[in-house]
Amino acid sequence: MKTIEDYNFEHKRALIRVDFNVPLDKDFQVTDTSRIEAAKPTILKILEDGGSAVLMSHLGRPKGTRNAAMSLSHISEKVSEIVGVQVKFVDDCVGEKVEAAYGDLQDGEVLLLENLRFYPEEEKGDRDFAEQLASFGDVYVNDAFGTAHRAHASTTIVADFFPNSKCFGYLLAKEIKAIEKVMQTGEKPVTAILGGAKVSSKITIIESILDKVNHLIVGGGMTYTFVKAQEGQVGDSICEDDKLELALNILKLAKDKGVAVHLPVDVLAADAFDESANTQILPVDQIPDGWQGLDVGPQTLEKFKEVIINSKTILWNGPAGVFEMKPFAKGTIAIGNFVDEATQKGAFSLVGGGDSVAAVKQFGFQDKVSYVSTGGGAMLESLEGKTLPGIAAILG
Ligand code: AMP
């Protein structure tokens, strides 16, 4: 696996695909700079070697047309501030203006191109467009994990034009290593904690990880499909009636593979999907109509704790309850604390996929786990066992 560590960028111009798809407020100020900060080590390494950097990214969903609200010009100052170099912005990503700016680029300088998705060719993975982008670098560096699952011009196709000079940036390399640690080289016992709303959105992950894990902990809204499938009463809890058979198949498959599945035994049920609803602790399979399980209960947490703190490798995807509402956040917070405890005892813990990161950030767990993935969809697809096109393009 070639990373930027394998290159010396002296007098070289690096074309870097970064993920600067950052949130902006109504005054176009960046409200969360973590993605820019995450790309900084890669940019600095290139500059410190004595090279220059051409940064390209998308921002939002302009759907192939120019849209001033989604211009990367809004973030240019922030990038300058974080990287510590005055970034030069060019208001296009291909064409004469970029050619001129690229021609003037000196060692130690950083050029930021305009939003790639102003051109429909980007998302289509257009070859000519990719070739034009490729003319703005001696080496192609992909450091955008968040878009690595897309075969877009700047994430995948462009790599074809750098057969012997393409590599992963630090961030992408770290993501790949973290996934490998869980999916391939993880020390046993390996535990996956899956939560979130629906079984249907996690089914491919479950099938793929059953070959890798020793324990599967199930929480969140998914629970009730498994419980109802085993003839439990779930009341008004979220439940996918058309997935009951699938849930039974998963349980059987897990048994055949020797994976211990841990389902909640008790839940915090509420009489409405509301912060001020009445609540009570109930056995998971005895929830009357008019009530719905919105978090895991105390006995369940005791059971989960035992498994989690004795694990050596942990994957956590999806909250244990409706963590956005304070009364139903306890289970998710407790699980975060167990993962923290296991990590302190030497386990490798990876949190990622979909919205998991939101829960982790909300409760400040990001510094307590070994790795928090930056890519929602890309991480989900990796956990599903898929090879991401952006990664394959560098390896190929
Ligand atoms: P996902 O994107 O599939 O990981 O789902 C995350 C969402 O699942 C969060 O917004 C939670 O509020 C929701 N969720 C977790 N537990 C439950 C539950 N018991 N009932 C309904 N929604 C839930």
Distance CA 253, CA 247 (A): 10
Cβ distance 226 to 247 under 8 Å? yes
Query: Ligand 1, from 199, 238, 284, 361: best to mutate by most atoms within 8 Å of Cβ?
Result: 238
pLDDT at residue 356 above 80?
Answer: no
**Which DSSP state fits 3?**
B
Is 35 a known active-site residue? yes
Sign for the CA dihedral angle at 235, 238, 243, 248 comes to: negative
354 is catalytic: yes
Dist. CA 317 → ligand 1 center (Å):
11
Task: Return the pLDDT at 223.
Answer: 97
Ligand 1 closest atom vs CA 201: 3
The edge-to-edge listing of strands for the beta sheet with 313-317 is 260-262, 215-218, 190-194, 313-317, 348-351, 371-372
Question: Which of 104-108, 344-348, 366-370 shows the lowest per-residue confidence on average (mean pLDDT)?
Answer: 366-370
Computed over every residue of the chain, the mean pLDDT equals: 95
User: Would the pLDDT of 354 be above 70?
Assistant: no
Which of these, 150, 168, 174, lies nearest to 16 by C-alpha position? 168
- For residue 355 and ligand 1, the question of a CB distance below 6 A is answered with yes
Q: Give, using CA atoms, the residue closest to atom 20 of ligand 1.
A: 221
Q: What is the pLDDT of residue 204?
A: 87
Give the pLDDT confidence of 88-109 residue by residue, as tens digits.
Answer: 999 999 999 999 999 999 999 9
Ligand 1 pocket member 62 (CB < 6 A) = no
Nearest atom in ligand 1 to the alpha carbon of residue 293 is 19
* Least confident span in 215-224, 234-243, 273-282, 371-380: 371-380
Mean pLDDT value of segment 353-361: 77
Q: Are 122 and 153 in contact (CB under 8 A)?
A: yes
> What is the pTM for the complete model shown?
0.88
Alpha carbon of 69 to ligand 1 centroid (Å):
31
| DSSP secondary structure of 25-74 | -TT--BS--HHHHHHHHHHHHHHHHT-EEEEE---S--TTS--GGG-THH
Q: Contact at 8 Å (CB) between 175 and 394?
A: no
Rounded percentage of the chain residues whose pLDDT exceeds 90? 87
Q: pLDDT tens, 369-385?
A: 999 987 888 888 998 88
Instruction: Identify the pLDDT of residue 199.
Output: 87
Task: Say whether pLDDT at 329 is over 80.
Answer: yes
Q: What domains are there in the chain, each with its CATH number?
A: 4-171 (3.40.50.1260), 178-383 (3.40.50.1260)
| Residue carrying structure tokens 């630090």 | 170
Mean pLDDT of 156-184: 95
Residue 94, pLDDT score: 98
Using 50, 70 and 90 to split pLDDT, how confident is the model at 366? confident
Q: What is the pLDDT of residue 293?
A: 98
Q: What is the pLDDT of residues 45-67, one digit of tens each?
A: 999 999 999 999 999 999 999 99
In terms of residues, how long is the chain? Answer: 396
pLDDT > 70: percent of the chain: 99
Q: How far apart are CA 220 and CA 222, in angstroms?
A: 5
Kindly indicate the confidence band of residue 34, based on its pLDDT and cuts at 50, 70 and 90: confident
